[in-house]
A = this chain, B = another copy of it.
Amino acid sequence: MKKVVTFGEIMLRLATPDYQRFVQAETFEATYGGGEANVAVSLAHFGLDSAFVTAVPDNDIGQAAINHLRRFGVSTGSILKVKGARLGIYFLESGASQRPSQVIYDRSPSAIAGIEENAFDWKAIFAGADWFHFTGITPALGDRVAEETLRACRMAKSCGLTVSCDLNYRKKLWSREKAQAVMSGLMPYVDVVVANEEDAEMVFGIQAKQSDIVKGTIDDEGYREVARELKARFDLKYVAITLRESISASENGWSGLMYDGSEFYRSRRYLMHIVDRVGGGDAFAGGLIYAFLKELSPRETVEFAAAASCLKHTVHGDFNMVKVSEVMTLAAGDESGRVQR
């Protein structure tokens, strides 16, 4: 069985139930998630051996985060427990129709941001592993975490792992300048880049022409240029871009684009009624990694990733709890949603 390691922050996610606004809520649904943890869970559900590396506080909230990962099949043996630390939190208000979802971050200071130098033994962690994945959120958590990400990348390459990175720009965490500086230092170790329709511009100033995100329209040619430029600038093997058409908070168009340096592969486009869109991009990355490790063709790969992440939009929480067979059925074109008895 192929083994994947992901590295980043896991947060307590406190979501208002049933489209409630923050000021109405009397309860929060408590789950746990974060870009890289979400990818690890996707892969565990696809049957791979997946491990998530992070630091959590040495208290019951930290333990609950570990339990949440463990429940959904992720190996948690390399997670650090830090005395006196806290777990980052994000509050989520689910939007509907013309009202967008709101995220309030309460992530600093967190256990992962406060790790000590050389906190992780990457050599041991990567033993037997085939793939390493992180996102642009991880190095944005602080200089110490950025250093650790670089250490991980170096060790991953020296151990022969494939490295993937989802750019995932977060403007609340760092400036575009800082992001560009740090991410440029990590790119040499990266084989596969995943980005959404904004990331490349935010992180590397690579802008898709003629697209208007707010309008929810997608200009294919613009994104092809972005992919070409990314691939060329960082000598990548593959660049994949998720294309979200934001029709409303309840309805999105969704598809993926992949570039292997010679050809562009565009997935089917899904028109989705959204249950929970957080983690959609992570599910795409998870699907991509699975497909690569299973050595699917580029076309099958982008279809698998797009279908997997389409399904994520129907699942509550950050985690994409879907099986390979479910993804395959959808990727093969069955969107009918007929009851499976």
Contact = CB atoms under 8 A, between A and B. Distances in A.
Nearest to A322: B99
A143 interface: no
Contacts of A317: 24
B214 A338 contact: yes
A207 interface: no
Contacts of A311: 98-99
B14 A339 contact: no
A30 B87 CA distance: 18
A123 B24 CA distance: 34
Interface in A201-232: 213-216
Interface string A268-301: 0010111101100000000000000000000000
Residue of A98, A172, A250 ringed by the most chain B CB atoms within 10 A: A98
A103 interface: yes
Overall SS of chain A's interface: loop
Given A71-B71, A97-B274, A316 B20 contact: yes
Contacts of A89: 89, 106
Interface stretch (A147-155, A159-167, A259-267, A328-336): A328-336
Interface stretch (A60-68, A127-135, A181-189): A60-68
A104 interface: yes
A248 interface: yes
Interface residues of A, number: 86
B337 A99 contact: yes
24 contacts: A14-B30, A18-B316, A19-B314, A22-B60, A22-B61, A22-B63, A22-B64, A23-B67, A59-B104, A60-B91, A70-B71, A95-B337, A98-B310, A99-B311, A99-B314, A99-B315, A99-B326, A102-B339, A102-B340, A214-B334, A247-B335, A247-B336, A248-B335, A248-B337
Interface of A: 14, 17-31, 59-61, 63-64, 67-68, 70-73, 86-87, 89, 91, 93, 95-106, 109, 170-172, 213-216, 246-251, 270, 272-275, 277-278, 307, 310-311, 313-317, 321-322, 326, 330, 333-341
Please provide the 9 A-B residue pairs with the shortest distance between their CB atoms, ordered closest to farther: A249-B337, A71-B71, A246-B336, A22-B60, A99-B314, A97-B273, A96-B314, A250-B273, A248-B337
Given A89-B89, A251-B273, 17 more contacts: A25-B30, A25-B64, A27-B30, A28-B28, A67-B71, A68-B71, A87-B106, A96-B337, A98-B311, A99-B337, A103-B339, A109-B109, A214-B333, A214-B334, A215-B336, A216-B336, A248-B336
